C-alpha cells in the first residue's frame, strides 16, 4: 500500500472514531430552573355529589408579570379562571378568580392564549361533547374572548343560541368540516381540542383526538393544528379566511417508547417566532402511566410541514415529564413554564424515581420552569 493511501486510511479512521465518540448536537436543549407544586384551592373541598375536587389545570398564560390559569374541572363556588403575580413559589393566597357569565357557564376549559399585542385573551373548551337534542352539552363548545383592558368584557365567538343557551356551536361546525376525511366526509362526529395559540394575524387550534366517538377504540390521538387568519372586531373574534388543517404530525414517527401521544398544549413564542407543542400520554391510572414531551417548531418549518424537534435534557435525552403536561407559556426569550393535569392521580407515598413517579395532593398541580441556554 502506498504511503499516500496509508495516510488517507488513517485520516478516515480517525474521523470515524471522532464521529462515533462525539455526542450528536441537538438544537433544543433545556434544563429545569424551578419546579414544584401550586395549590389551586384549599385542600378537601367537595363537589355537589360529595366527591373531592381535583386540581386539573389545562391552560396557562403569562400577561404583564402575572400568570393566569384555567382548570378543566369546575371549582365549586367560583370560576375556573384565576391568576396572580408571577413568583416562585406560586401561592394560592395571591390568586384572584375572574370571569362573568360565559366563563361561569363554560364546561371543561382546555387552553388559553394571549394576543402578541397583549390586548385580548382567548379561552377554549374541549368541544368534545354535543347532542342534537336537548342542548345540555352546548356549554362544552365555547370560545371566549376577554378584553384584557377590561376583563369584565367577555364576548362569545361564533355565538349560537339554542334553548336559551349561548355557545360556539357554529365554530364546532367549522372545526368538524376542517377535519373531513374519506372515512368521515362530513367531518368526524367526535373530536377534542387540546391547544390554542395565536400570532398577530393567525389563529391556531390544536386537535388532540378525533373519530367516531369518545369511547375507547373509536378515536385516534392526534397532533393536528387548524388555522385561519383572524381579527378582533369590536371585541369579537372573526375569522377572515377558511379554517383548515395547516399542520399534521404523525405521532408514530416520533420514535418514542410511549408513542401514543396527543396534543395537549400549544403556544406561540413571540420572542423566537416559533410554536411550542405539548404532547401527553396516559396508559393507566397510576403515576408511572402518565407523562409527556415538549416540542419546538419554528414558524417557517410549520408552514413547510417539517417535523417538530423534541426538547432534550443536557445529556441529549428526550426530556420526559413525570406528570401529564397540559399548558405551556413563554416567560421570556429563554424560559417557559409548563403546568400539569394529572387526572385525579395523586401518585405514591414513597417516590423512588422522580423521572416517572410523583406524589401530590388533590388540590395541587405540578409545574416546571424550563431554561433554554441557547
Residue 312 has pLDDT above 90, yes or no: yes
Q: How far is CA 338 from CA 129, 290, 297, 362, in A?
A: 27, 15, 17, 18
Nearest Cα neighbor of 28 from 266, 275, 341, 206 is 275
Inform me whether the pLDDT recorded for 3 exceeds 80.
no
- The whole-number pLDDT of residue 254 equals 56
Q: What rounded mean pLDDT belongs to the chain?
A: 88
Dist CA 75 CA 95 (whole Å): 14
The Cα–Cα gap between 269 and 309 comes to 15
Prediction pTM value? 0.90
Report angle CA 218, 220, 224 to the nearest 5 degrees.
145
Q: How many CB atoms lie within 10 A of CB 303?
A: 12
Higher per-residue confidence, 101 vs 265: 265
Say if CB 370 and CB 336 are below 8 A apart: yes
**Which has more pLDDT, 234 or 231?**
231
The per-residue pLDDT for 302 is 96
Higher per-residue confidence, 103 vs 251: 103
Whether 12 shows a pLDDT value over 60: the answer reads: no
C-alpha dihedral (340, 106, 78, 155), degrees to nearest 10: 110
Residue 190's pLDDT is: 95
165-171 — which CB contacts under 8 Å span 24+ positions? 165/105, 165/135, 165/138, 165/139, 166/102, 166/105, 167/135, 167/138, 167/139, 167/141, 167/142, 168/127, 168/141, 168/142, 168/143, 169/130, 169/138, 169/141, 171/127, 171/141, 171/143
pLDDT of amino acid 18? 41
What domains sit in the chain, N to C, each tagged with a CATH number?
Answer: 26-371 (2.120.10)
- pLDDT over threshold 90, residue 88: no
- Which long-range contacts does 95-102 make (Cβ < 8 Å, 24+ apart)? 98/68, 98/146, 98/151, 99/154, 100/152, 100/154, 101/154, 102/142, 102/144, 102/154, 102/155, 102/156, 102/166
Amino acid at each position: 500500500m502506498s504511503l499516500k493511501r496509508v495516510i488517507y486510511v488513517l485520516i478516515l479512521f480517525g474521523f470515524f472514531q471522532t464521529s462515533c465518540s462525539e455526542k450528536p448536537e441537538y438544537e433544543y436543549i433545556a434544563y429545569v430552573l424551578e419546579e414544584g407544586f401550586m395549590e389551586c384551592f384549599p385542600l378537601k373541598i367537595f363537589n355537589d355529589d360529595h366527591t373531592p375536587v381535583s386540581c386539573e389545570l389545562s391552560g396557562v398564560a403569562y400577561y404583564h408579570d402575572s400568570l393566569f390559569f384555567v382548570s378543566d374541572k369546575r371549582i365549586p363556588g367560583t370560576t375556573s379562571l384565576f391568576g396572580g403575580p408571577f413568583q416562585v413559589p406560586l401561592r394560592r393566597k395571591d390568586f384572584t378568580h375572574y370571569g362573568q357569565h360565559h366563563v361561569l357557564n363554560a364546561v371543561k376549559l382546555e387552553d388559553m392564549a394571549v394576543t402578541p399585542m397583549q390586548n385580548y385573551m382567548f379561552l377554549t373548551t374541549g368541544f368534545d361533547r354535543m347532542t342534537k337534542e336537548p342542548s345540555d352539552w352546548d356549554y362544552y363548545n365555547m370560545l371566549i374572548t376577554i378584553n384584557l383592558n377590561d376583563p369584565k368584557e367577555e364576548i362569545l365567538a361564533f355565538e349560537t343560541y339554542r334553548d336559551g343557551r349561548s355557545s360556539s356551536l357554529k365554530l364546532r361546525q367549522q372545526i368538524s368540516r376542517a377535519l373531513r376525511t374519506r372515512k368521515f366526509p362530513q367531518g368526524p362526529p367526535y373530536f377534542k381540542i387540546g391547544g390554542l395559540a395565536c400570532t398577530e394575524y393567525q389563529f391556531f387550534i390544536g386537535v388532540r383526538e378525533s373519530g367516531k366517538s369518545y369511547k375507547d377504540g373509536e378515536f385516534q390521538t392526534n397532533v393536528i393544528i387548524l388555522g385561519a387568519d383572524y381579527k378582533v372586531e369590536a371585541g369579537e373574534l372573526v375569522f377572515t379566511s377558511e379554517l383548515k388543517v395547516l399542520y399534521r404530525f404523525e405521532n408514530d414517527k416520533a420514535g418514542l417508547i410511549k408513542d401514543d401521544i396527543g396534543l395537549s398544549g400549544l403556544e406561540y413564542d413571540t420572542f423566537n417566532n416559533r410554536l411550542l407543542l405539548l404532547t401527553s400520554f396516559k396508559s393507566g391510572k397510576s403515576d408511572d402511566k402518565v407523562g409527556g414531551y415538549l416540542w419546538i417548531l419554528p414558524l417557517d418549518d410549520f408552514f413547510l410541514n417539517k417535523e417538530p424537534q423534541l426538547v432534550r435534557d443536557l445529556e441529549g435525552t428526550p426530556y420526559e415529564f413525570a406528570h401529564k403536561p397540559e399548558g405551556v407559556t413563554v416567560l421570556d426569550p429563554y424560559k417557559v413554564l409548563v403546568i400539569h393535569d394529572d387526572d385525579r392521580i395523586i401518585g405514591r407515598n414513597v417516590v423512588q424515581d422522580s423521572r416517572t413517579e410523583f406524589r401530590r395532593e388533590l388540590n395541587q398541580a405540578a409545574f416546571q420552569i424550563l431554561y433554554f441556554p441557547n
